Each structure stands twice: as C-alpha cells, then as structure tokens.
Structure 1
Amino acid sequence: MSKELKTGIIAVIIIVISIWGYNFLKGQNLLDPGSRTFKVEYGKIGGLTKSSSVTINGLKVGKVDKIEFDRSEEKRGHLIVTFIVDNDFEFSKKSIVRIYSPNPLSGSNLAVIPSYEGEMAVSGDLLEGEMEESLFTSIGERLNPLQQKIESVIVRADTLFSGVNRILNDETIDGINSSVSNLAGTIADIRKTIQAVNSMVVDNQENLKITLENTKNITKNFSKVSDSLNAVDFNKIISKAEEAVSNFNEMSKKINSGDGTIGKLINDKRMYDNLEAATRELEELLRDIKLNPKRYIHFSIFGKSPEPYGEEIQY
C-alpha cells in the first residue's frame, strides 16, 4: 500500500469521526438506525432551545433538533419544533408533547405524554403540543400587567412631584408660611370674639330671659289674632265686594250708553254746548254787573227812571 493511499484513508476516517462527533454533541447518533424524528407546533416555546432534552415518563429519550417558524399564511409566527427520539418506545399519534421547566433556574424541556389509543406514531408525524404553565410562569404573566400599571403610576407620580417641586419654590413656601401665620392669628381673634360673646350672653342672661318671655307673649297674641281672622267670614266680604263691583260696572255701562242725567251730560254734546253757552253768558252777566252796577241796582228819591241797557265799549 502506497504512502498516498494510507494518507487518504486516514483523512477519510478523520472526517467521518469529526462529522459523527459533531452530530453526537448535537444529540444525534448517526450509528443508531432506530432514531425517529417528530414535529410539534407551538404558539410560544417558553425558553425551549436546540439540544433541549426530550423525556418520556421522566426518562431522557432524545433531544430537540431544530426550531423554525411556520411559513404558512394561516399560522404565520407559530414555531415548529423538530425533535429526535432515540428510544424505540412506541406511542400513538394522540400523544401530547408538553413544554415544561424542571426548575426555575433551568431552561425548558420536552415531555412526551404517551397515549396508546389509535394509530402508532411513526417518524415524521406532526404531534399535538401544549405548554405547561408553571408557578413562576403564571406569576410572571400576572405580574406583567401589574408591572406596567406600576410603571405608569410611577411615571405619573414623578410628573406630579416635578410639578409640585416647580410650584413649591422659596417664594411659594414663604407665602404658605405667611398664610399659616395669618390663619393662626385669625383663629386667635375668633376665639377672643367667642369669649366676648359668651361674656355678653352671661351678662345679659336676665334680659334674654325677659326678651324670650315677650316673644312668647307676642306669639300668643299673634295666635289670638289668627283665631280672630279665622272667625271672620271672608267669603261673605268677598261676595259683597263682588256685588259692589258688579253694581259699579252696571252703572258705568248705563253712563256710557247715555241713560240717565249723568249719561246724557257726559255723552250728549248738545247739552254740553248749552251748559257751556249758559256758563259763558252767566260770566258776561257777572262781569257787566261788576262794571255797571247802576244798571241793575237803582235808588232814586225823585223817581227817575233807569237808563236803558246798552253795551259799553271797553278800551
């Protein structure tokens, strides 16, 4: 055998050993023809990684081979986990592959919950998956909304305190101190006023007692007046008032219609004109008597007849 052939054989052996070692470190045993591959789809994997352990009833039977996204339109964003089972233990297609965490400090693993009903699972089958909600996962999911609310409250409180700090400057604090001092003075004045009022009440206690007695008597008198008013027949008074108003309205109607002397005097224009003419003539007569009294009052010893009436011309 030539030296070159020996070198080639050694190189091939080294390459094969390297490939086997690399896959062995990944959890794949190329020398084991009984390995089977299964797939599971999850919405979230909760810290599951490549080379995570796969167990059946607590016994390690394989490892996670790869994790990739689902490329279909309906389930875009879901994750497809491919794992290898080295054990020849058989279970049906109804078995469930659960993601669980052995303890809070370690990563997640896969646990096959075997079912023996129906058709047995073969390499390449897609199994049903679920995720175990551990105590820490449940607490974390409940604390996440609470954490967001607390952070929001902290931000608002920080904003509030910033506003308070801007308001409570030295000038504002001095003003508050001054207001508190003024308030204390006002309270002291109010106390003095109350003490003075109390002293005045004590000093005038007898007068207040007399005033209350007078008030009581006045109330009794008002009560008597009220009884007297209750005894008055207001209905009768109102009836008589209505009757008087009715008579007045009837008289007004007669006057407006021209019935009677007053109605004719008010409504007959000729009577008004005659009265006006008579008044005017009476006024002229009185004026003439005043100016020419000899014409109306005549004394004659010798029997001289009076002069005939003639209107004098006034200048």
Structure 2
Amino acid sequence: MSKELKLGIITIGIIIIFIWGFNFLKGENIFTSGSRVFQVEYAKIGGLSKSSPVTINGLKVGKVDKIEFDTSEEKKGFLIVTFTVENTFEFSRKSIVKIYSPNPLSGSSLAIVPNYEGEIAVSGDLLFGEMEESLFTSIGERLNPLQQKIERVIVRTDTLFSSINKVLNENTINEINSSISNLSGAITDIRTTIQAVNAMVTDNQENLTSTIKNTKKITENFSKVSDSISTIDFGKMVAKAEEAVGNFNDISRRINNGEGTVGKLLNDERMYDNLEAATKELEELLRDIKLHPKRYIHFSIFGKSPVPYADEIKN
C-alpha cells in the first residue's frame, strides 16, 4: 500500500471522526438510525432553545430540533417545538411533554412523561405539552430580560462615570475643596453661636421659668374667663335688648303721635306759646322785683301805703 493511499485513508477517517464528534457534541448520533420526530405546541416556552435536551425519566433520548411560530389564525402567536427522539422506547400519544428547568444555571429542557394507554406515538405526531411552573423555570424565563437590563444599566453607569470624570477636573476639585473648607468654617460658626445661645439660656433660666409660669397663669385665667363667658345666656341678653329697643320705638312713636305729656308738650304749639308767654311774664316779674323790691316787701312803722305797681314803658 502506497503512502498516498494510507494518507488518504487516514484523512478520510479524521474527517469522519470530526463530523461524528461535532454532531455528537450537538446531541446527534449519525450512526444511530430510527430516530423519530414529534411536535408539541406551547403558549410560552420559558427559556427553551434549539438543541435543548429531551429526556424520559431523566435519561436523555433526544434534542429540540427547531422552534417556530404557529401561523394559523386560531392559535396565532403560539410556538410549535419540533424535537427528535433517538431511543426506541415506546409511549402512547397521551404522553405529556413538559418544559422544566433542572437548575437555575442552565436553560430549560423537555421531559416526556410517558403514558402507555391508547395508540403508540409514531413519528410526526403532535403531542400534548405543559409548562412546569417552578422556581428554576421562572428564573430561566427571566434570565434573558434580566441580563439585558443589567447590560443597559452597566452601559449607563459607564456613561455616567465618564461624565463624572469630565466634570471632576482639577479646577472643579479645587473648588469643591474650597467649598468644603467654607462649609467647615460655617459649621464652626454655627457651633459657636449655639454655645452662646446655650450659655444665655443657662444664665436666664430662672427668668425663663418665671416667664413660663406667668404665661401658664395667664392662660389659666383666659380659660376661666372663657368658661365664664360660655355660661352667659346670650340668647336672653339679645331678647332683652330687643325688648328694650321695642319699648323705645313704642315711646318714640307715641311721642311723635302726640300721646302723653311729653308728646303733647312737643307737638302742641299753643302750649309752647303759653309756656313762652308765661316765661316772659315771669322774667318781667323778676326784673320788677329786682328794680322795685319795696312794691312787694314793705315794712312801715307809721303805716305808709306802698307804691302802686306801674308797668314800665319800653323804649
């Protein structure tokens, strides 16, 4: 056998081994015949992906071949999972294909829960699928969105730190240090002021105590006055005031109508004229008494007659 033939055989063997190993790593065995193809439909797949393993009672018997959307109108949006089973283990069409997550660090897998009643499942059958709700499934379903959010947060954080580095140049840092120094001085002044206030309060503590006591007494007195005011029957006071106003209005009405002495005095003109004439005569009488008192008071030892009254002639 020539060297060229030997080299060709070795090369073909290496290529065959390479192809077999590559497919073996993908979960396929090209030397095994009789693999069956099944389909199952889900509303959601919870992190299941192409090449995910298919197991029966924990034993790997196949893999997921493809995942595509259902194009029918009644189940639009549902997902059809096609998988292959290379083992010759038989199960009926009533078997259930569950999506589960074996651990939180791996993706989801398919597990065939075999049922042996009814017709045996053959290649091309559509089996019934379920989603196993578990902690691992929920984590696997949320890993991708969470990873995307974390990546966005990391990008934003990097942008933020880049902006901070641009802002925090040497001049800005010096200004921040100066501001901190000024703030420290302001805090020192505030502490000094607080100490002075505390000293003033301590020195005038007795006066403050006395002032507080006086304020308390004043408040108590106001409270007593308020209690006294609350006991006054303002309704009766208002009623009596209204009654007095009514009486006053009645008296005013009667005076205006000429009733009673005061009313007649204010409304009778003749009485006013008579009073005025009487006043004038009384004034003249008093004037005459003042000028001629002997006419009214006369003392005579010898019986002299008094001077008769004579009305003065007014010029």
TM-score by length of 2: 0.52
Aligned-partner residue type, residue 184 of structure 1: Q
**Counterpart residue number, 1:60:** 60
CA distance, structure 2, for counterparts of residue 74 and residue 184 of structure 1: 81
Aligned pairs (5 A) from 1:199-238: none
**Match for residue 188 of structure 1 among 193, 199, 202:** 199
Asked if 1:179 corresponds to 2:190, the answer is yes
Aligned pairs (5 A) from 1:249-268: 256=255, 264-266=264-266, 268=268
CA distance, structure 2, for counterparts of residue 119 and residue 264 of structure 1: 133
Aligned pairs (5 A) from 1:1-315: 34-73=34-73, 75-138=75-138, 170-194=181-205, 256=255, 264-266=264-266, 268-287=268-287, 293=292, 309=311, 311-313=313-315
Is the 2:106–2:140 contact (alpha carbons within 8 Å) kept by the matching residues of 1?
no
Displacement of 1:58:
2.1
Q: Which runs of 5+ in 1 are unaligned?
A: 1-16, 159-164, 201-244
Deviates more, 1:96-105 or 1:76-85: 96-105
Structure 1 residues 46-68: Cα deviation after superposition (integer angstroms, max 9, x where no partner):
44332332221122222211111
Is the 1:67–1:81 contact (alpha carbons within 8 Å) kept by the matching residues of 2?
yes
* Distance change (3 Å), C-alpha of 1:178 and 1:306: same
Displacement of 1:83:
0.5
Aligned-partner residue type, residue 97 of structure 2: V
CA distance, structure 2, for counterparts of residue 277 and residue 105 of structure 1: 133
Helix, strand or coil at the partner of 2:48: coil
Helix, strand or coil at the partner of 1:66: strand
Helix, strand or coil at the partner of 1:65: strand
Question: How many residues of Structure 1 are paired with residues of Structure 2 in the alignment?
Answer: 232
Displacement of 1:172:
4.5
Aligned-partner residue type, residue 50 of structure 1: K
CA distance, structure 1, for counterparts of residue 263 and residue 206 of structure 2: 78
CA distance, structure 1, for counterparts of residue 142 and residue 201 of structure 2: 57
Is the 1:46–1:108 contact (alpha carbons within 8 Å) kept by the matching residues of 2?
yes
Is the 1:23–1:30 contact (alpha carbons within 8 Å) kept by the matching residues of 2?
no
Displacement of 1:294:
10
CA distance, structure 2, for counterparts of residue 82 and residue 70 of structure 1: 12
Is the 2:101–2:136 contact (alpha carbons within 8 Å) kept by the matching residues of 1?
no
Aligned-partner residue type, residue 180 of structure 1: R
% of aligned pairs identical?
A: 57
Displacement of 1:277:
1.5
Helix, strand or coil at the partner of 2:204: helix
Deviates more, 1:31-40 or 1:49-58: 31-40
Aligned-partner residue type, residue 82 of structure 1: T
Is the 1:41–1:81 contact (alpha carbons within 8 Å) kept by the matching residues of 2?
yes
* Distance change (3 Å), C-alpha of 1:57 and 1:174: same
* Distance change (3 Å), C-alpha of 1:102 and 1:259: closer
Is the 1:98–1:132 contact (alpha carbons within 8 Å) kept by the matching residues of 2?
yes
Helix, strand or coil at the partner of 1:275: helix
Deviates more, 1:263-272 or 1:184-193: 263-272
Helix, strand or coil at the partner of 1:277: helix
CA distance, structure 2, for counterparts of residue 308 and residue 191 of structure 1: 99
Q: Which runs of 5+ in 2 are unaligned?
A: 1-15, 161-175, 211-243, 299-303
CA distance, structure 1, for counterparts of residue 104 and residue 110 of structure 2: 15
